[in-house]
Structures are given as structure tokens and as C-alpha cells.
Amino acid sequence: MSTSERGGRRTVVIGLGNPLMGDDGLGLAALARLPEQWELPPEIELVDGGTWGMNLLPVIEDAERVLLVDAIDVGATGGTEVQIPRERLPRYLATKISPHQVDLCDVLALAELRGTLPEQTTAIGLQPARVSLSNELSDIVRVRLDDLVAGVVRQLESWGHLCTPKGALAPCVSTGFTGGPSPHGPRPDGRGYDADGCGCACTK
């Protein structure tokens, strides 16, 4: 899946994982939700990496920037947002929770060897809570999925891309709040929600 069939250098967002293995599929779930909530500029390409393995090599080598979205096991509490910079990716991939990460490790190593791994490559994801045979995310990861999408947008904007929210569906990139009445009322610290608990107030 891609936002276009363009040639040339671009930023590629690659969703990874196996949707039949519970939280291992969170990268693909976030990738699908991203264009539902945000208008993305044409230079961003979304790629359903799934378990592509070596087929991802030309996609990565043809990009100027690569953002990997995946379940990332760092031993944290389930649902914790994790970001791994380029220089730490080999260490992250050494802790494998799924066969697709074995293939990804080989792809990144080969691109590095060939001198074609983009300097601006990073991985972002959530700590999985449950990786087992299931086509559903765990409750904690499902609740945090919008926060992950907001994290993806923050990274894209830090690279200079203008991402435009699609009304109330897009979470605030600071708070993750998606608009509409808050089920919990206003935030106790007064940030994130309007005084009546509706809408994001972080920029007001």
C-alpha cells in the first residue's frame, strides 16, 4: 500500500508485524489509522511491510527517510511508547518477538553494508503486552494506538512534513486526545482538554 506511485526520493513509513499474532500487528494497525486521521503530503509514502522480509530492501534504499512502525520489546509496561534511533536499531532487533524482525535485521544490515541505509532512519512503536495467536490487539495497546499515530506525526513533522488533521478524528500530537466529549471530564491539570472536557486546549 502506498500513497502514490511516485519516483524519486521520499519519506517512507513502513508498518511492520503480523496481524494474526496479537500486539505484533500494532504497526500495521497504526499505519492503517494514520491516513484516516491525517492528510499527508505527497512526498510521504505508506508501505504495508507486514512480513515482506528482503522485499523491503529496494523500498528502504530508494527512500531519503525511513520510519519503521512496529511492536518494540524493551521490557517496559505494555502500551509504553518507544522510539529507537538509527544507531540503536541493531540492538533493538537483537530482541526479536516475531520472525519478521529477523528478516528486518538482515535487510537493514545489508542496506548498511551497501551504504544505502538512509541516515534518517528510526523506529517507533509500543511495548507489546501480548504476542500470541489472535487477530486482536490487547486492550492497553488498542487504547494507546492513537498516541502512537500522534508520535508518528510528530516524527514526520520534525522532518519538515506538514501533516493536516482530519477534523476531530486526528489526535493532538501533544496529548493524543482525539476530540469530542472526554469520557473522564476535564484533565485535572487543565491541559489537553477545554474546560468542559471537549476538544484539545494544548494550543490555546
The CA distance from 145 to 126, in Å, is 8
In three-state form (DSSP H/G/I as H, E/B as E, the rest C), the secondary structure along 4-27 is CCCCCCCEEEEEECCCCEHHHHHH
Query: 178 and 158: one domain?
Result: no
pLDDT in tens, the chain (204 residues): 443 344 446 999 999 999 999 999 999 999 999 999 999 999 999 999 886 778 899 999 999 999 999 999 999 999 999 999 999 987 766 655 565 566 788 889 899 999 999 999 999 999 999 999 999 999 999 999 999 999 999 999 999 999 999 975 566 665 555 544 433 333 333 334 333 334 443 443
Domain range for 180 is: 172-204
Q: Which secondary-structure segment (H or E) carries 39?
A: strand 38-39
Query: 66 and 151: one domain?
Result: yes
Domain contains 41 = yes
Query: 119 and 183: one domain?
Result: no
Spatial contact of 128 and 71, defined as CB atoms under 8 Å apart: yes
Query: 95 and 176: one domain?
Result: no
Spatial contact of 107 and 53, defined as CB atoms under 8 Å apart: yes
Would you call 155 helix, strand, or coil by DSSP? Answer: helix
Residue 125's nearest CA partner among 19, 30, 1, 21 is 30
Domain contains 6 = no
Given the C-alpha cell 482538554, which residue does it identify? 193
Domain contains 2 = no
Domain contains 4 = no
Query: 89 and 109: one domain?
Result: yes
Report strand pairing: 164-165 vs 65-71: unpaired
The CA distance from 194 to 54, in Å, is 48
Query: 107 and 153: one domain?
Result: yes
Query: 138 and 58: one domain?
Result: yes
User: What's the pTM value of the predicted model, to 2 decimals?
Assistant: 0.78
Domain contains 3 = no
Domain count, the chain: 2
Query: 182 and 124: one domain?
Result: no
Quick one: pLDDT at residue 3? 39
Spatial contact of 16 and 104, defined as CB atoms under 8 Å apart: yes
